[in-house]
Amino acid sequence: MTTNNKELRELQPAIISYVKDLPNLCSLFGLACTILAIYFSITGVYYAAMIGMIWAVAFDWADGLIARGMKGRTGRDRIFGGQLDLLIDIVSYGVTPAILLLSFGEFAPLLLPIAFIVLAASAIRLSYFSTFGLSDESKYTGLALDNNNIALVFIFLFESVFTSGVFTVVLCVSALSLAALNVSQIKTPKFSGNLRNVYLLALYTLGMTGIYGWKLI
């Protein structure tokens, strides 16, 4: 038994070896965008944060597209990639919007329960998907979390129309509404699985990058 266990351990690849897998590398690029979004949210450079948030979605969609097109990936590779995706998603679509809300609201203590609800809904949504996967109709149960970033990046276009206080309320209501949809029983299609939607996201990402880049100048 001891010999078998030793042989099994020797057959296990090195942890860092999974970084060479192109879909996983793409996921990590998305995580880098998320770190930038968090940094710029905390420092108050919100237009740059929006760029980071939408590129995090773009890389998230790209890793799945690349993985589906690759040949020779083992079941273990797919499991590792799926787990990496889930862990990055909670940061990209849970932690980042929560920090954005807190920062834009000048870290007012009253915003902490709202940030918690956003983050908790994300954790519950991902745990549910990890347990049950897609529904019988090959659809998501609840709104997929990547839609949170897509929606918030669009909503933030109207930030200059309102006063800071009013837009904080707009962000909170929007984030809470998205959180409710995340944990609802509605059935939504897997948008990232459709090539047409991938092209639309690419255009949306480039468009938002252009708009917010211009606002930064």
> Is position 191 within any domain?
yes
Q: Residue 5: its pLDDT value, please?
A: 55
What's the pLDDT at 30? 96
Query: What range defines the domain where residue 121 resides?
Result: 17-216
**Structural domains of the chain, count:** 1
Give a yes or no: residue 8 inside a domain.
no
Please tell me the predicted confidence (pLDDT) of residue 50: 98
Q: What is the pLDDT of residue 2?
A: 53
Burial class (CB within 10 angstroms; exposed 0-12, middle 13-18, buried 19+) of 144: buried
Tell whether 10 is covered by a domain: no
**CA dihedral (141, 145, 150, 156) positive or negative:** positive
| Position 36, amino acid | L
Q: Residue 66: its pLDDT value, please?
A: 83
* 36: in domain: yes
Asked whether residue 12 is assigned to any structural domain, the reply reads: no
5 lies in a domain?
Answer: no
Question: Which residue reads 């509404």 in tokens?
Answer: 177
pLDDT at 201: 96
Q: How far apart are CA 83 and CA 91, in angstroms?
A: 13
Q: What is the CATH number of the domain that holds 204?
A: 1.20.120.1760
Give the chain's residues under pLDDT 50: 1, 7-8
Q: What is the pLDDT of residue 10?
A: 55
Cα–Cα separations (whole angstroms), residue 60 to 34, 54, 77, 208 = 11, 10, 17, 17
User: Which run of H or E residues covers position 140?
Assistant: strand 140-141
What are the helix and strand counts (H, E) for the chain? Answer: 9, 2
Residue 75: its pLDDT value, please?
75
Residue 145 lies in a domain: yes
What pLDDT sits at residue 9? 57
Residue 18 is predicted with a pLDDT of: 85
